[in-house]
């Protein structure tokens, strides 16, 4: 028995050592933590229960028989974050470069299955040089097992991916299939084909950071939702994010004990909208004044900045928000902003997070490029997402709500539950200048002073339509409120809508306008 215990302890110790001191030192030299160090920061102390620590590959080709490490380059198991149960896996770059193998797939697939069955979030820490070449087709098929389970878990449990180093080739699809992807600035990258292959095929010379670094995927491609300054920051963001999400789709997000008065009204909101309707204001400042203090958690901050999306709290309850940002492109919707908004609506809906939409949008961004790239198709994603969402939905028109953008952004016809408007709201088919020219073209042309005549018609159109009262008259707006009243109004509405039950027409699924 003593010999057996000694052997077990030796194997466990080898598993804890990863690829050995030299590989660990090399990892630290790159400014990166080891897989076990990352898990120690992420999880509550002494909460981690490892599974599959002694698993090793059975390959004998290409000298692999002498390169066996307990765990085979990935650590899997269960733990707790702020007392909540989670499933985790962390690739260990010190072991064969974290290369993805059949054994890695078996371990990750096993923890995915257990997470789905237990109804708990799954967090993956990715740091791998890619598929293990020595295993050939087996490593490629192994990716497919993980992808299938990513799709199976989608909309059932929260899936969070952290990119802590390289993530290349087929490996990138797993994070892309999860709910939130977090990248570390300067030390993580994602790409389907690396710089060397691109140079060979196209002749383009590009570095890994320029091709698929954290800045690229957070600001240009939209693949990642969050960027971290370093690994500790990434792990901290993960903990903060998880606090807004439920354990699974059958539960509500965990509330916090209210710490900000529900009846707080900030007078600064009453003077936030400029008198000149062409002047911009910061929608982020508006959100900070309305939601619980310090609760704003923005996603996709650097991608499509003409729209803001993320999570916040109202009286301690988790909510999702969508807002136009007038400081960028006047808050117009374009292709990227449409994708950003539609994705966030769907994310909130699948995890029972109420949606609050702040509308100040003059319409869709005009231009040949936008039309040719499919702004119609992308804009339709917002409509589809709002109509499909069954969570409580509240909208506030703060200023402009023009044409199709009014309809798309959580109008009554999008199954919106409560619609408010500020007195500064302008709900109309189009801008006043365009409407005046369209309706009174002949009268303007025949006038002695066409400019003066046009200005008169513009002023008349604004007087009649650039206000929320006609929309309120016909029931498209439930109530016109003072801006400072927004916070208590939202909290009261959510109290009523918390038990909302929606019954839809049975169907397999619709065709999302991808």
Helices (H) and strands (E) in the chain, counts: 20, 17
6-10, 82-86, 137-141: which has the highest mean pLDDT? 82-86
Question: Quick one: 85 exposed, middle or buried, by C-beta within 10 A (0-12, 13-18, 19+)?
Answer: middle
Q: What is the pLDDT of residue 133?
A: 63
Task: Pinpoint the alpha helices (H) of 421-449.
Answer: 432-439, 441-446
> pLDDT tens for residues 490-509?
999 999 998 887 766 677 77
Phi and psi dihedrals of 118, rounded to 5?
A: -80, -15
pTM of the model: 0.93
Position 142 confidence tier, pLDDT thresholds 50, 70, 90: confident
Torsion angle of the four alpha carbons 113, 118, 122, 127, in this order, in degrees rounded to the nearest 10? -50
- What is the C-alpha separation between 267 and 287, in angstroms, rounded? 14
Q: What is the pLDDT of residue 84?
A: 97
Range 162-179 average pLDDT: 92
Flag the least confident range among 169-183, 228-242, 304-318, 419-433: 419-433
Pairing of strands 307-314, 297-299: antiparallel
Q: What is the pLDDT of residue 90?
A: 95
**pLDDT over 60 (residue 132):** yes
Q: What is the pLDDT of residue 98?
A: 78
- What is the C-alpha separation between 59 and 133, in angstroms, rounded? 11
> pLDDT tens for residues 340-351?
999 999 999 999
Flag the least confident range among 122-131, 212-221, 280-289, 423-432: 423-432
Question: Measuring CA to CA, how many Å separate 145 from each of 107, 119, 171?
Answer: 11, 19, 12
Q: What is the pLDDT of residue 20?
A: 82
Q: What is the pLDDT of residue 67?
A: 62
Position 458 confidence tier, pLDDT thresholds 50, 70, 90: confident
**End-to-end CA distance of the chain, in Å?**
61
């Amino acid at each position: 028995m003593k010999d057996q215990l000694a052997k077990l302890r030796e194997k466990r110790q080898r598993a804890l050592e990863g690829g050995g001191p030299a590989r660990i030192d090399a990892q630290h030299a790159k400014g990166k933590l080891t897989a076990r160090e990352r898990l120690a920061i992420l999880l509550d102390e002494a909460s981690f229960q490892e599974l599959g620590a002694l698993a090793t590959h059975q390959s004998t080709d290409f000298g692999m028989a002498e390169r066996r490490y307990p765990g085979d380059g990935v650590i899997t198991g269960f733990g707790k974050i702020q007392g909540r149960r989670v499933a985790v896996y962390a690739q260990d770059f010190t072991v064969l470069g974290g290369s993805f193998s059949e054994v890695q797939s078996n371990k990750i697939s096993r923890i995915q299955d257990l997470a789905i069955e237990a109804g708990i979030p799954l967090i993956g820490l990715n740091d791998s040089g890619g598929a293990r070449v020595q295993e050939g087709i087996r490593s490629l098929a192994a990716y497919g097992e993980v992808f299938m389970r990513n799709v199976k878990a989608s909309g059932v449990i929260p899936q969070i991916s952290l990119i802590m180093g390289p993530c290349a080739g087929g490996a990138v699809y797993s994070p892309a299939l999860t709910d939130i992807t977090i990248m570390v600035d300067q030390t993580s990258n994602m790409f389907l084909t690396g710089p060397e292959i691109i140079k060979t095929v196209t002749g383009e010379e590009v570095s890994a950071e320029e091709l698929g670094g954290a800045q690229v995927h957070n600001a240009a491609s939209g693949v990642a939702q969050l960027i971290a300054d370093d690994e500790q920051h990434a792990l901290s963001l993960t903990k903060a994010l998880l606090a807004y999400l439920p354990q699974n789709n059958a539960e509500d997000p965990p509330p916090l004990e209210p710490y900000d008065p529900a009846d707080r009204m900030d007078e600064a909101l009453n003077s936030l909208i400029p008198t000149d309707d062409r002047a911009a204001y910061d929608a982020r400042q508006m959100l900070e004044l309305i939601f619980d203090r310090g609760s704003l958690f923005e996603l996709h901050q650097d991608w499509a900045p003409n729209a803001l999306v993320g999570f916040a709290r109202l009286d301690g309850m988790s909510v999702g928000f969508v807002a136009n940002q007038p400081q960028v492109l006047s808050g117009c919707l374009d292709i990227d902003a449409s994708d950003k908004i539609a994705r966030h609506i769907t994310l909130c809906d699948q995890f029972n997070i109420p949606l609050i939409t702040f509308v100040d949008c003059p319409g869709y961004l005009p231009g040949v490029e936008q039309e040719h790239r499919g702004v119609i198709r992308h804009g339709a994603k917002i409509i589809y997402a709002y109509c499909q969402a069954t969570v409580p939905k509240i909208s506030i028109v703060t200023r402009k709500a023009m044409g199709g953008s009014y309809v798309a952004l959580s109008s009554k016809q999008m199954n919106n539950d409560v619609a408010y408007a500020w007195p500064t709201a302008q709900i109309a088919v189009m801008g006043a200048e365009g409407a005046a020219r369209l309706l009174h073209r002949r009268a303007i042309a025949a006038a002695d002073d066409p400019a003066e005549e046009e200005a008169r018609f513009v002023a008349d159109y604004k007087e009649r339509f650039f206000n929320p009262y006609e929309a309120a008259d016909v029931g498209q707006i439930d109530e016109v409120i003072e801006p400072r009243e927004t916070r208590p109004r939202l909290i009261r509405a959510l109290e009523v809508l918390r038990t909302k039950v929606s019954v839809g027409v049975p169907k397999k699924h619709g065709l999302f306008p991808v």
